[in-house]
Structure 1
Amino acid sequence: MIGQAMQRVDGPLKVAGRAAYAYEHWEAGQPLYGFIVGATIGKGRIIEIDSGDAEGAPGVRMVMTHRNAPSRASAMSPFRSNTGAPSRC
């Protein structure tokens, strides 16, 4: 791979203006938005997560923590294209 020319899987579609981007895939209903809440201190130890207030807030569909997050092993590898061929990084 190193030093070899590779065709981008999405290159021709992007150049032609026909590439589909993530936000252009519409499903029924409203899109969901996510927010990451970072630490408020520089160094500390998490001893408890109380997400009750956040889970009960209007419009909240899910509060994701380490307890209910999907396995990282199930996520698609960022080093493979949609066709399974290696991608350039």
Structure 2
Amino acid sequence: MVDSRCGLHCTGCGYRETCGCGGCIETEGRPFHGECPVAKCCQEKGFLHCGQCPDIPCDMLTDYSCDPEHGDTPHGARIEQCRVWHSADNA
């Protein structure tokens, strides 16, 4: 199930509860922290998620995914999730 543009799994995320996050898809790229550049890029290109972009993984998605403080565990997890969604889209 696609629940974000960048590959994060929003379902069950603590930010939904603690910060009132509506998710990037539902809020048109403006989750709890304001405008998300990854979501905005994806929307401007007409993609549901980054896995549909021929530039995956772009520098912006890689920076978000591998950020030492707020990035994925393991690094690159959201990129791999976008690739899974891409494969499912084309199955």
Highest Rg: 1 or 2? Answer: 1
**Fold shared, TM-score > 0.5 on shorter chain:** no
TM-score w.r.t. structure 2 length?
A: 0.25
Greater per-residue helix proportion: 2
TM-score w.r.t. structure 1 length?
A: 0.25
Structure with more relative contact order (C-alpha pairs < 8 Å, separation 6 or more): 2
